[in-house]
Each structure stands twice: as C-alpha cells, then as structure tokens.
Structure 1
Amino acid sequence: MKKTILLLATSMLFVVSCSVPKQNTTTVIRKSATDSLTNRLQQLYNKGYFNGFGVAIVDDQGVRYKNGFGYADQAAHKAYTVQTIQSIASISKTLVGIALLKAQELGKLRLDDPVNSYLPFEVINPNFPETTITIRHLATHTSTILDNENYLNKNYYLKPNQDLNGLPLVFDDTQILNPADSVVSLAVFTKEMLAANGKWHNADTFLNKAPGVHYEYSNTGTTLAAYIIERATGEPFDVFTQKHILNPLQLKDSGWKFDAIDLSRLSRYYQDPETLLPYYTMSSYPDGGFMTTINDLSKYLQELIRGYNGKGTILSKESYREFFKPQLSAGHFTERNTQNPYSESYNTGIFIGFGYTGYIGHTGGDPGVMAMLFFDPKTSTGRIMMFNTNFSTPEGNQVFYQIWDALGR
C-alpha cells in the first residue's frame, strides 16, 4: 500500500508518454518529489532514534503521500507499514469531540447541560460548590478537573496473556501497570476518581478555580465526557463511536480495545530503541487508547478537513462549525504557547486544538507511543505521524520535528 502514489504516477507516465508531453513532465516532477521525500525520511530513520513510524500527507481530495519506516517489531524484523496498528494516544480525544456532537445531533445531550444531569454520582468542585460544571467545560478543558496521581497509578493495566519476562511494569516511576484482571469500567473509574467519596479522589482532584474560567488540560475530564455519552445514549462509548464514526468512514483496522483489532498487525512499543515495553490498556481508554493505522487515520483526517470546509459526512455542517469554533479567549490561559505551532493548547474547539499559527489538530504521547495530526485550514492540507518509540534526548526530539518538517515541505 505504501507505494500507491508511486505506482499511480508510473501508470500515468506510461499512458501520457504516448501523447501529451506536458503531463509527462508533471508526472516526473511528482515522482521525483515523492522519491525525494522517501529518501529524506529514510535518512532520518537511519539516525536510530525510532524503531518504527508511519507518516501521511492528506488533503480534502485524498492521501497524497503515505509510508512506513523501520520495524513494528525490532527483534522479529517485522516491517512498520501503513497497515501497522498502534495507539495514537491523546489524538483519541478528537473522537470524543466528534461523538459528543453526534450525540447532540441525536438529541441525547446538549453541550451546555450540567454534567450531573447524566451521572449517578455528583461531580462538584469543592472549592466552588455553587458553580455548575457543564459538558462544554469538559470538552474545552475548563472543568477544573485535574489528573491526580491516581490517574497514573490506577489507570494503566497489562494486556492479558502476554509474556512479561524482563519487561518493565512501571513507566517513568509514576505510571504503574496494574494486573490485567483488575481493570475497571468507565463508570467505576470516573466515580472513584471524581465522586467526593471515591476511593481515588483526593485534594488534588480539582483546581482551585471556578469551572469555566481557566484552561487546564484534563485526561480525567475527557473520560468523564465519554462516560456521559454512554449514559446519555445508552450505548458503550466504543460501540457508539464504532456506529457513528468508524463504520461510516470505513476505518476497518481501528478500535478501542484489543478484541476489536487484528493483533497480528499491532506494533510493539518501546521506551527507547533498546527498551521493549509490555502491551497495556487504560480504564480511561477514550482519552488516549484509540488504535489505528496510517491508512485509517488518513481517512479520518480527510474527513476532518472536509468537515472544516463544510463537506463532512459524519456530522452536520452546524456540528462541524461548533467542533472547529475556538471556544476560549486569552483570559482562560495563564500562559499561551507561542513557541510551538503544533501545541494544541493555544485555543481549543470541542476536544480539538489550535496552534498559535492557526494549525488545527492534536498531539499524542503515552509510554512507547507518539503521534501528531494537524492540518492547515488555509491550504486544506494535513500531516500525520505515528511512532512506536518515545524519544528521551534532545537529539531525538530534533529528529522527530525534522520528520514533521520534511512532510511539510
């Protein structure tokens, strides 16, 4: 699959070489650009900071370039391709945003409804008990819900039935991998984290600011939004998104849980090029557990670009306008990131971010996983990267962004 554009260009070259020299020249230029990009990305891979990664360039008409480099399994020399499956970490949150707006279209909820209208327990910031937390607050990271230390040590769980011989069970001294048979549901996770009597609730669960006035990125708040979708629609979150996002876009190689994907195509994850990590899942899976391929994620990005341009298929034009509308102002931020155009924390739509230059998308990072998805609304062109290896050095960080910049050129 990774040679699609090259094969198409070659086919066009054969046809037009018999008739229209001008088209022949254009085709040669396109092939040369594709080959040049592939060579550059191969050079960057050869620096040795990542075991495997996939990339794509997408516009509203389709995929312009896609490729995989390195290995999905280094020890087995299994190639990383555009059909390799891996987690995209927090880019998953954009699907929560789409799902919220679909549930609103279906009349199941409204973004400005209080969260407690849908919950079997109360979520109240004890510092501001009279201020209502709304679904929109969750979707714009202004709910004041924080990720306390229990988010890290009560959230990650080992995948069942895997060989753990010699593999680390704690990431970065904070993210503890719990036994596979102790994983809990969204209902249990959100209650124990957020209810006043929850066993994982503590003094660091809420920010000491009123809901709605301050941006503070929240994985736990995202998970609560997904649970509200379950409560409002009567369907498990993964089932709802399968029906309303994955199936319509024909994302056939994607899913939230291990039993929804082809495990033979799942990449291994690496803390660094030498350190293999075990497979894991999360109780808060909607905030970062979506697993997909470059092929499928390209379809999703194409839909987002089309949605921004009023041509989307899974939401109405009105819903896409709400999804992409900047929801906050400078007053919501203590500091705004104007150094990295691909930080999504300059402003936010409904679980989708804006860089200060206007790029729209999201980043993602979890143990052994890094990903980026952004598009330029001025050109309707977007880029995707998925890595199965974390970088832990300034040099690795530099190569990461050199790969991103190569796609932009």
Structure 2
Amino acid sequence: MNKLALLLIIGISFSSCNQSKKHTANSISKNQIILDSLTAELDSIQRNGQINGFAVAMVSQNGVLYEKGFGLANIETKEKYTENTIQHIASVSKTLIGIALMKAKEMGKLNLDDPIQDYLPFKVINPYYPDETITIRQLATHTSSINDTEQYMERAWILTKDQDLTNISTAYPAQRLNSSEFDVPMEKYLNGYLEINGQYYQDNNYIKFKPGERYNYSNIGATLCALVIEKATGQAFDSFTEEHILKPLGMNSSGWSLEDVDIKKHSRLYRNDNTLLPFYTAITYPDGMLISSSNDMAKYLAELVKGYSGEGTLLLKESYKELFTEQLEEHNFESRNAGNPYNGDYSPALFIGHSALGYIGHSGGDAGVATWMYFDKEKKTGRYIVINTDMGNDKRTKELEYYTVWDTMNEYFDKLNL
C-alpha cells in the first residue's frame, strides 16, 4: 500500500471518529436538555400537589438514565427530598426475597419444589388440607394457602424505641403501629401465627384452597420464605441479602433496620393530612422493610432489567430466566384485571410479576409510603417512584398526582436518545 493511500485511510478514520464523537456529544447534550425539562415538570407537579416528598429513577439495560428527588423530606426543618434520601420501600422489598431465593438455589442450599417442612422447626400445615405439602415455589408465587388476617395487620408493625411521640400519629387505617414492648423475633411470630393452636393462630390464617391451587397474596408467606432461606443457608436473611445483593450492587445507603443506615438521611413519613408518623419497623421485616434511596434502587432496577436481558451480575443467566418465568394459569385466580398496565399480581413469577400489558415489577404501600418499580420488557426501560406521604382515606387527589409523575416519566423515555 503506498503512502498516499495509507494517509487517505487514516484521514477517513479520523474523520469518522470525530463525527462519531460529535454525534455522541450532541446526543448527550440533547438528552440533558430533555431531562432538565423533565425535572421542571416533576418539580411543578410536586409544588402544585399534596405529596410532601418523593424521588424517582429511570433506567435502561445500559444503566441509570435519571434520578431525582422533589419536595420535602422533613416539613418542620424544610430538608429537601433528594435521590439520596432514604426510607423504607414497602412491598417492593419482596423482590429481594426472590433474588435471595435463586441465589440460595445456585448455592445448592435448596430447590424450589422442596417442601418447606424440610427446613422449618415447626409445623406449617393447612388444617383444611392436612395431607397436602406446601412448597417453596408456592410461597414465592403466593399460592401457599397462607393468609394475612387482622392478626397480621394489627400486630406486625412495631414502633422503634425511645421516640418522643408528642404530636405524632400512631394510628393508621390499615395497620396498627405497636409499641416496642410487643416486638418478638420473626421466627417466634411465624411459629405462633402458622402452627395450629399457636399464640397468634386464627382459623382464617389459612384459606380453604389446596396449596398451589389459588393465588392469594400473603405477606406472612413471603416472610416465611425468608425464614426458609435463613434455615437453608445458615445465615440471617438481612445478612444474606447484604452480602449477595446490596454490597455487590453498591447499594451502600440501604439496609433492613435503622441501625443499618444513616438515620440523618431518613425522610420523615406523613399521613395524608400531613400528620407526622413515627419511625417504625416490622416483625415480618423481609416483606416490606428494606430502607433505601432512589439512587440505590436505580442500581437495583437496572440490574433487574439486565438480568431479564440475560446480562445480570447477581445471578446466573439461567437463574434470572427462572426468576422471571410466569408461574400460574387462569384457573389459579378468582379474578384478574387485564386493563392495568402496572399490576404485577396479574401473572406472578417469583416474588415479582408480569402485568397484562407488558410490564414486570412490584408495587408497595405502607403507613406513609407508596412505591412502584416496573420495567418494560420489550423496550428494556424501567421506572421507580417512592413517596413519603400515604394516600389516606381520600385517595383521589394523591393517586392522580402519583399517576401523573409515573406517566410523565414514561413520556420522556420516548424523547430520549437511548
């Protein structure tokens, strides 16, 4: 090749490289303008609405696209709610039980169709079907026949110690927040709840369907699965998930109790009338008490999208495939809503669900908390939202605001150059 031809090739290569860099720079600049516009819209929604504080995140299979907080984490001190503000995330926490379950399976500690009785030191038997075995898979798909009753709703949540409860509401329409003297170890509570004639046993703690027959969402069943993981691995659930999920993803602001996190970053939680709620935890903490930030949850959601695409880092490709595989059929449900795009109860996988309209994820709600985490399985883009204000008895205004934030993020996916 003569020198002239070589110089021509080199020149073309440099030109192409420069054009590519210029195109990339233009795309980044354009995307930043679009995201600045999104920030302005979400800020306007918060300022004109009734949610005190919230944070959002948007991700793709390539990573985090956007994360931002809005409003106030503390009304009294005027502290802003940011992407680094932490609070517990309610039932979105259950998706970590699914990841932990598959990790324990990879380690050879259990199999999904094992009877749970193989791992438990107390009896868990549906008295209406005493000869039927309950399996780990049934816990993970909410078909175990274990039922949440008023005993659970009035007993599971515990106020943290040494709180000044002056001008703080401990009442909540759906959940009773109990003083710390009612706290008991998770295993003891599950034993008393599930074993016939146990301290917390009621006749309706099990439904009148065979295990595996009917979908019946159960927080108690989810917590029992976390206990099975503990017994199978010989490691406490909080420690196991920290080792195999939180630390590998760099979720350094997250934990299962106030002792595990920086409480100075914790948002206060509010009733819908802005009454301050106390700090609280739950005996059944795996079903909803992960404390995290939008920044950390963006990392987690991006990992789920990657896992669905076969490129995750927490689990093997085959494990992620099983995690996301739809498990149930039409006859397993009393009824289903096919019109809701963000309803993970429509077609459960393992502690995560598929909606009828192409989304995968989970939602959550507790006193002072509402969360959604879903990704589009075709576009491989995901959204997360967490708020520090409960919906209360009159949900209409806040639900509209909540949906508006959610839908606005979705609109901006189409504007971004991904």
TM-score under structure 1 length normalisation:
0.93
| Letter paired with 1:306 | K
Alpha-carbon displacement from aligned partner over 1:224-282 (angstroms, at most 9, x marks no partner): 00011111111111011111111111110000011100000011001115211111000
Trace 1:9-408 onto structure 2 (pairs within 5 A).
Answer: 25-172=26-173, 174-391=174-391, 392-408=394-410
Structure 2 CA distance, aligned partners of 1:157 and 1:314?
Answer: 32
Alpha-carbon displacement from aligned partner over 1:118-160 (angstroms, at most 9, x marks no partner): 1111111111111111010000000010001110111110011
Residue 26 of structure 1, CA deviation: 3.3
Structure 1 CA distance, aligned partners of 2:23 and 2:385?
Answer: 34
Residue 32 of structure 1, CA deviation: 2.3
Q: Greater CA deviation, 80-89 or 176-185? A: 176-185
Residue 20 of structure 1, CA deviation: 7.3
| Letter paired with 1:196 | I
| Letter paired with 1:64 | L
- Change beyond 3 A, Cα 1:157–1:28: same
Match of 1:10 in 2: none
Residue 201 of structure 1, CA deviation: 0.9
Structure 1 CA distance, aligned partners of 2:339 and 2:189?
Answer: 35
Match of 2:7 in 1: none
Specify every segment of 5 or more residues in structure 1 that has no aligned partner in the other structure, as ranges: 1-15
1:389 match: secondary structure: coil
How many equivalent pairs are there? 393
Structure 2 CA distance, aligned partners of 1:168 and 1:143?
Answer: 35
Q: Is the 8 A contact 2:145 2:207 kept in 1?
A: yes
Structure 2 CA distance, aligned partners of 1:218 and 1:354?
Answer: 17
Q: Greater CA deviation, 152-161 or 278-287? A: 152-161
| Letter paired with 1:116 | Q
| Letter paired with 1:73 | N
Specify every segment of 5 or more residues in structure 2 that has no aligned partner in the other structure, as ranges: 1-16, 412-418
| Letter paired with 1:186 | M
Q: Which consecutive aligned stretches of 4+ in structure 1 deviate over 2 angstroms post-superposition?
A: 16-29
Q: Is the 8 A contact 2:157 2:176 kept in 1?
A: yes
Q: Is the 8 A contact 1:157 1:178 kept in 2?
A: yes
Q: Is the 8 A contact 1:48 1:273 kept in 2?
A: no
- Change beyond 3 A, Cα 1:74–1:103: same
Residue 23 of structure 1, CA deviation: 5.2
Residue 314 of structure 1, CA deviation: 1.0
Residue 339 of structure 1, CA deviation: 2.3
What is the alpha-carbon root mean square deviation over aligned residues?
A: 1.7
TM-score under structure 2 length normalisation:
0.91
Structure 2 CA distance, aligned partners of 1:148 and 1:273?
Answer: 27
Alpha-carbon displacement from aligned partner over 1:92-130 (angstroms, at most 9, x marks no partner): 000001111111111111110111111111111111111
- Change beyond 3 A, Cα 1:100–1:48: same
Structure 1 CA distance, aligned partners of 2:338 and 2:30?
Answer: 36
Q: Is the 8 A contact 1:17 1:24 kept in 2?
A: no
Q: Is the 8 A contact 1:93 1:288 kept in 2?
A: yes
Structure 2 CA distance, aligned partners of 1:230 and 1:204?
Answer: 26
Structure 1 CA distance, aligned partners of 2:110 and 2:21?
Answer: 57
Structure 2 CA distance, aligned partners of 1:313 and 1:402?
Answer: 33
Match of 2:415 in 1: none
Q: Greater CA deviation, 179-188 or 148-157? A: 179-188
Residue 182 of structure 1, CA deviation: 2.9
Residue 74 of structure 1, CA deviation: 1.0
